[in-house]
């Protein structure tokens, strides 16, 4: 799965690596009445779950402390609390078979598979029912519990020829021996290649991807059964969460949603999946035209990825080390270039933010431009912005699954991501 990364550039790939962000981020929010706002008057339950190993804030991908009880052949197998990487750029909990006491790998055929196109990493295993318990610092009592299937990973490795489904053509993946503890909490990540919705259509990879593996029923933050030791009551509980620089708040209420600017989402077009499409955006680089597409707020990476339709002048690019693969070079925006993102449209922005690459305030580094590169013809891929997590230094990010909204609230905490320390 995605490694712990950093890069703000625009993203069509993405594994994760921690890095130093040094670009100028000039942020400003504008309310747009046409987007409306949800009514939270009947919702009163929420719970803050802190990020651990989070100093400096968000230098690393955020981590939540969680224990997992996986049911194997009717018997609960308990994994002690450990750090899980929390990723808003994917959906589904992954845990390696090697860290589940008494678990014996059953091998193929695998009913579970999650593929990360940016890193080309394929994880194969079995979806098993589980109870996930979230903890605070110093092993405090359980803050919340969720009932979700988890992917017990038996095989994991790079698959350059992946065409969908539960195999890697022409390659047998090795057993998963390294500890995997990964928690995807994003939305709109269906189908097989976690494509975003595009203008009411659902892009599909080549081949037969099989049933979606990235559905809301596998998102632990949306399937909580208890909060602060009390059963979740549908009448007072609004499914959703707020991500900031220090943790995530589950449950949306009038108090914790005050001050947010809301953007309405479109229902996911592929039924019976009950999900929402990514929010719309329009991105400009310097004085270019504004390219309309979709946006992903992704806590799993520090860099940003931007896909636009037309090539930029050669002088706007530099080659940098690929945050996902240190052996490769990628094209990124050169220092001094300015990026402006309008959410959801240029004509009626709810939020508009801009930054200058290698400026003096927080911004993603690098800002990768996967398509089109300087020597390429116009891209056939839809415009897309993966903000990375640097944006969370200046905004809180809200996702309302129940009503279909995202929201942003400017907090102007400032600073930079800093350097990700090693986790022991």
What distance in Å separates the CA atoms of residue 89 and residue 116, rounded to the nearest whole number?
A: 10
The 338-343 sheet, strands edge to edge: 24-29, 351-356, 338-343, 280-285, 291-296, 384-386, 304-307, 367-368, 325-333, 317-322
- pLDDT tens, residue by residue, 46-68: 999 999 999 889 999 999 999 99
First to last CA, the chain: 19
% of the chain exceeding 70 in pLDDT: 83
Average pLDDT (117-125) is 85
Where are the extended beta strands (E) located within 88-143? 91-96, 112-116, 121-135
For residues 214-234, average pLDDT: 94
pLDDT band at 4 (very low <50, low <70, confident <90, very high): very low
Mean pLDDT of the region 143-166: 93
Query: Which carries the bigger pLDDT value, residue 244 or residue 164?
Result: 244
pLDDT band at 14 (very low <50, low <70, confident <90, very high): very low
pLDDT tens readout for residues 288-336: 999 999 999 999 988 899 999 888 888 899 999 888 777 778 899 999 9
pTM over 0.85: yes
Q: Is the pLDDT of residue 244 over 80?
A: yes
pLDDT tens string 377-406: 777 788 999 999 999 999 999 999 999 999
Tell me: pLDDT of 354 over 80.
yes
């Amino acid at each position: 799965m995605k490694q712990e990364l950093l890069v703000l550039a625009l993203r069509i790939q993405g594994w994760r690596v921690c890095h130093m962000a040094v670009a100028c981020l000039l942020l400003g929010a504008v309310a747009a009445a046409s987007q409306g706002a949800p009514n939270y008057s009947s919702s009163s339950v929420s719970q803050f779950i802190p990020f651990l190993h989070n100093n400096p804030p968000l230098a690393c991908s955020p981590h939540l402390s969680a224990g997992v009880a996986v049911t194997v052949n009717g018997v609960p197998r308990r994994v002690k609390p450990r750090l899980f990487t929390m990723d808003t750029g994917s959906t589904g909990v992954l845990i390696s078979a090697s860290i589940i006491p008494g678990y014996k790998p059953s091998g193929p055929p695998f009913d579970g598979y999650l593929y990360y196109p940016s890193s080309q990493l394929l994880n194969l295993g079995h979806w098993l029912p589980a109870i996930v318990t979230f903890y605070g610092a110093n092993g405090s009592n359980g803050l919340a519990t969720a009932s979700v299937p988890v992917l017990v990973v038996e095989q994991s490795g790079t698959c350059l020829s992946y065409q969908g489904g539960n195999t890697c053509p022409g390659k047998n993946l090795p057993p998963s021996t390294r500890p995997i503890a990964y928690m995807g909490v994003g939305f709109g990540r269906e189908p097989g290649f976690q494509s975003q919705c595009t203008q009411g259509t659902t892009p599909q990879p080549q081949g037969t991807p099989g049933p979606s593996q990235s559905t809301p029923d596998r998102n632990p933050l949306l399937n909580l059964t208890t909060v602060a030791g009390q059963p979740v009551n549908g009448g007072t509980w609004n499914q959703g969460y707020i991500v900031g620089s220090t943790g995530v708040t589950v449950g949306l209420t009038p108090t914790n949603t005050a001050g947010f600017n809301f953007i309405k989402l479109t229902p996911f077009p592929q039924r019976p999946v009950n999900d929402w499409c990514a929010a719309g955006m329009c991105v400009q680089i310097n004085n270019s035209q504004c390219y309309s597409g979709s946006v992903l707020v992704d806590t799993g990476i520090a860099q940003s990825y931007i896909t636009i339709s037309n090539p930029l002048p050669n002088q706007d690019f530099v080659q940098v080390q690929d945050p996902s693969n240190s052996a490769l070079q990628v094209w990124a925006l050169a220092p001094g270039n300015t990026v402006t993102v309008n959410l959801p449209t240029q004509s009626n922005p709810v939020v508009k933010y801009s930054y200058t690459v290698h400026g003096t305030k927080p911004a993603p580094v690098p800002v990768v431009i996967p398509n089109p590169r300087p020597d390429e013809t116009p891209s056939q891929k839809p415009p897309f912005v993966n903000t990375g997590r640097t944006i969370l230094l200046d905004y809180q990010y809200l996702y309302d699954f129940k009503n279909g909204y995202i929201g942003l609230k400017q907090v102007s905490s400032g600073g930079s991501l800093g350097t990700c320390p090693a986790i022991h």
